[in-house]
Amino acid sequence: MRTYTRGAPTVFFINLFWSLLVYSLEEDPRGGVPFLNGYYNGHSMLYFNRDEVGALQQKAQGSHYHIAKKIREAGQTMLAHPDEYLPPWDPVDFSARWNEIYGNNLGVLSMFTILFPETMGALDLARDYMERMAAQPSWLVKDAPWDEVPFAHSLVGFATAYDFLYDYLSKPQQERFLQVIANATRYMYEKSYIRGWGFQYLHNHQPTNCVALLTGSLVLMNQGYLQEAYLWMKQVLAIMEKSLVLLQDVTDGSLYEGVAYGTYTTRSLFQYIFLVQRHFDIAHFDHPWLKKHFAFLYRTILPGFERTVAIADSNYNWFYGPESQLVFLDKYVIRNGSGNWLAELIHKNRVVEGPGQAGKGQRWCTLHTEFLWYDSNLSSTPPPDFGQSRMHFFEDWGRAIYDIVHQKKYKDWINGWRNFNAGHEHPDQNSFTFAPNGVPFITEALYGPKYTFLNNAVMFSPAVSDNCFVPWEGQLTENCNSKWLKYKHGSAADTQGRVLAAIESNGLVFIQGEGKGAYNSDLKIKSFKRNLLLLHPQLLLLVDQINLEKDSPIEQMSSYFHNTDLPFEETVIDGVHGALIRHRGELYKMFWMDDTGYSDKGVLGYRRYPPGYPYDGSNYVNVTMPLKNPITRGAYIFFGPDVDVQSFSIRGDAQRVDIYLATSEHTYTVYLLTGEVTSKPLFAMVLLDQKKIVFEKEAGVKDSPPVEVEDHVSLIEDHLQHIKPVFQQLEKQILAHVLNTDNFKKTAERLLQFTDKKTTEEVIEKMFSLSGKQNKNKNSKKGSLNDKLSESLPDIFAQIEVTGMKHMYEENLEEGDAQTFVDYGGLRYLKGRKGGFVKGRSYKEVHMIATVKSTDPSISASYIRLFLILNIATFFMLLALLLTRFQKTQSLHTQRCFYGILLIDSFILLCLYSSCSRTQC
């Protein structure tokens, strides 16, 4: 009895304490980002407070030195070449070309000024930079006035710099720059109702422009523009919270626009996630898509860490970051050091010159967020399987969007393809890339025209429709009249390819895709299966099988294979034609033949892109084969310099095709079962020397799209409700700040400007009398008066929603898109109401009041923190006493009393910790 009593409770309490501690650290959906709840001490406030600047400067000299070094290099480069980096004064020059570089570089310049204040000329350069941007009548590009993206880059950079450098600006500059931010933010708000980025979800334009609107609104909110900022902020959240709901359908962490444009999206998406947690306590750090997104950045990198799998419109790797995004994921989501590790490797292997180098307009713009989000406590740690060859299958890359559209999910706000923008995708179903040794051998053709033959895909002849390249016909989404993919209407809207199998077995990988759905049904293609077998890290076998309907009119197939960097050269061995590239003195080769063993000569060339694309063109190999009815097969092998192929042959019948390959080290006999009904439940079988490796149909891809997010409308409504309490808190702070001053009545009138005039006068009179009583009664508590003032105020934010929504609805009704967004103010309230919204308002006339930080919450948090520390100390003292002294006592009653005290103390500790978490102390 004594032994039992002495041992078990002690273990129980220790396990309970550590379990609670570990759980609380790992399961914090806020990611450890403190919620400010409207208590600002002026600027800076977006990402950090002014009293944190000293700590940031210390980090720049210590734990964050490697990132601060990059910031310093960027700042010093701009200081050394101001004529090259400063925006032009002349509006004609400013708007003459795509100008996102100006907003992108301003963020890092302002961070440089903060971290290294001793640098001569840095502050002057930053102020000159802002003066030049403020002097522009518009930040739009002259030739693309319908595109707010470069405008958004300018607004984000300008508003961020305003927040960072506020204390270094003169009073006239503060007021003039704030007016610029106000006018630009209002412009973005109005365009959000009529431009595609307001309703086309998960497209890179949407978070880019929404974060610009959010950033500007936050700065204005902090300066007292409560009505405008509230309405604009609510619009941002109404858009972006829907996107985050839709991302839950993307279960693999991918983004449908690919890796490069994916970083364009996440550059702003991660800023949004951070900002809404910091300022509105909207937590997304436990989002399932976020938890999987590291894999999208890690698994798509080619060996060498310089390039990525460049699918769809793309550059060689990433448009923005991805170091900033990786340290964000590490600090707030995965917490295992892998994000820091990958960010360091990418930076170490960065291409400085030539293909793959970062663009001049993008290379620095995420450095300030990388610095702010980096957690030096997370030691760089590679993923557990680093260095091991393994397959990773992104089952939702593009499929999730297709399913949302065609299954009519989220019909409250999704109306087919209208709510998505697949313009950057390519007609590339059944396409592939191959990089043995990390060397790009077969590549995609990067950002270019949306032609089928610019992908590693197949065309057919003769054409059955009036398309781009008669007599050849490509995929339905091919577009020869636009830079963008055709996807919205007709047969193109239903185009899809499917992955039927993605199986890894004994170091070999088998993938099968079905591409029939990407082509015109009048071609009468019964099935078009592309089979890929990775037999060795440097040996890939590709077998195409085209099964035609009896009355199919097509007679030929034409396959294309690309390399964006190196030209192909002809080669032939024993009558088998092929092509090769030379890379650093080594040869990478490909050969082909049809299922009769015949190999025809291919066409090698270079396709130059039309003007207006970032790349000149692509090298290609074109292999054309005649089609037999009903079945035709073509086989291709691709191999690197460490593989010596000595024999290659093929034969087949209606049920299967056999390929024999011999290298200097191994023999491979591949059996592909191709019949509609196979004799064995297999996709394929490989004899590697004498070893049998099978790929069973049971292991094929099984479609299991996720169900619609439960109660998603209420979820969004709940998040939108987080905004109003913050604004109400700021409203009280403003009134408290001007209490008993000459500005009180004027401030109250401004706060109530959207209410009914008679009601406004009555409320102001009541507030004014309360203010007068406070003047006479010096001993009355200010807090109680604040409560009375807040009780006197009508709900101005509910009224601004109604008047603002009505204004936008009336102005944009003819656009046909306003209906999508007038769903959170409630049109049902508009009928029969009168209200106005001041259009084209001059912000110069608005009296601005800086908010003052209240100390009440911090005092409360300090007391909780103090009690928590004392309670922890008490707990461990009692535990130590129990284990060292009272274990020896013969009194069972005494021991039980101590266990009781410990149990009560544990409960108090848990309550204090919970309270501390809620107040973010």
Rg (CA), the chain: 32
Distance CA 17, CA 27 (A): 16
Q: What is the DSSP letter of 364?
A: T
Q: Classify each residue of 724-747 as buried b or exposed e, where b means 16 or more C-beta atoms within 10 Å of its C-beta.
A: bebbbbbbbbbbbbbbeeeebeeb
* SS3 call for 147: coil
Give which of 862, 879, 866, 684 is closest to 11, Cα–Cα.
879
Give which of 618, 594, 104, 168 is closest to 366, Cα–Cα.
104
Distance CA 644, CA 665 (A): 8
Distance CA 826, CA 821 (A): 10
Q: Classify each residue of 44-73 as buried b or exposed e, where b means 16 or more C-beta atoms within 10 Å of its C-beta.
A: bbbbbbbeebeebbebbeeebeebbebbbe
Greatest Cα-to-Cα distance within the chain, rounded to the nearest angstrom = 107
Q: Amino acid letter at 769?
A: S
Distance CA 73, CA 69 (A): 6
Residues whose CB is less than 8 angstroms from the CB of residue 734 and which lie 6 or more positions away in sequence, other chains included: 224, 226, 747, 751, 849, 851
Distance CA 921, CA 912 (A): 11
* SS3 call for 461: strand
Residues whose CB is less than 8 angstroms from the CB of residue 813 and which lie 6 or more positions away in sequence, other chains included: none
Q: Amino acid letter at 252?
A: D
Bridge partners of 672, per DSSP, are 657, 684
List the alpha helices (DSSP H) in 167-225: 171-191, 205-222
Distance CA 608, CA 591 (A): 25
Distance CA 718, CA 702 (A): 35
Give the tokens for residue 406: 């065609």
List of long-range contacts for 696-699, beta carbons under 8 Å, 24+ apart: 696/503, 697/501, 699/501, 699/503
Is residue 156 classed exposed, middle or buried when 0-12, 13-18 and 19+ CB atoms within 10 A define those classes?
buried
**Residue numbers annotated as active site:** 205, 261, 447
| 120 in Cβ contact with 160 (< 8 Å) | no
Count CB atoms within 10 A of the CB of residue 423. 21
Give which of 541, 513, 505 is closest to 670, Cα–Cα.
541
| 166 in Cβ contact with 222 (< 8 Å) | no
Give which of 516, 624, 530 is closest to 577, Cα–Cα.
624
Token pair 């990775």 in the structure block, residue: 534
| 657 in Cβ contact with 651 (< 8 Å) | yes
Give which of 332, 255, 346 is closest to 286, Cα–Cα.
332
Distance CA 405, CA 492 (A): 13
The DSSP code sequence of 84-134 is: HHSPPSSHHHHTSS--HHHHHHHHHHHHHHHH-TTSTTHHHHHHHHHHHHH
- The 3-state DSSP composition of the chain as helix, strand, coil percent (nearest 5) reads 45, 15, 40
Distance CA 265, CA 358 (A): 17
Give which of 527, 540, 472 is closest to 498, Cα–Cα.
527
Is residue 611 classed exposed, middle or buried when 0-12, 13-18 and 19+ CB atoms within 10 A define those classes?
exposed
Token pair 């009073």 in the structure block, residue: 171
Q: Amino acid letter at 433?
A: T
